[in-house]
Amino acid sequence: MAKKFVFEEAMGRLEEIISLLEKGDAPLDQSLALFEEGTSLIKKCGSALDKAEQKVTMLVRTEDGPAETLFEEEE
């Protein structure tokens, strides 16, 4: 069974990968594997952030008082 994606764990792993790649001690094949893992994690984290953003609501002031509306990016 696949492990459930946890954003905080993915970000922690990304930090580890960055640190390992910055050191430059890993052999080329390991560096490439780390890079591939990192790009995969970035895609998953980006997707998770997009989903979270879609769920965000903000309060707006109306004539009847505060009301919830879906979050929309300003253009």
Q: Is residue 75 pLDDT above 80, yes or no? A: no
20 inside domain: yes
Q: Is residue 44 pLDDT above 80, yes or no? A: yes
Tens-digit pLDDT profile for residues 47-67: 999 888 777 666 677 778 777
13 inside domain: yes
CA dist., res. 13 & res. 42, Å (int): 10
Query: Can you give the residue range of the structural domain that contains 11?
Result: 7-70
Give me the number of domains the chain comprises.
1
Copy the structure tokens of residue 14. 């990304």
16 inside domain: yes
40 inside domain: yes
Q: Taking the model in full, what pTM does it have?
A: 0.68
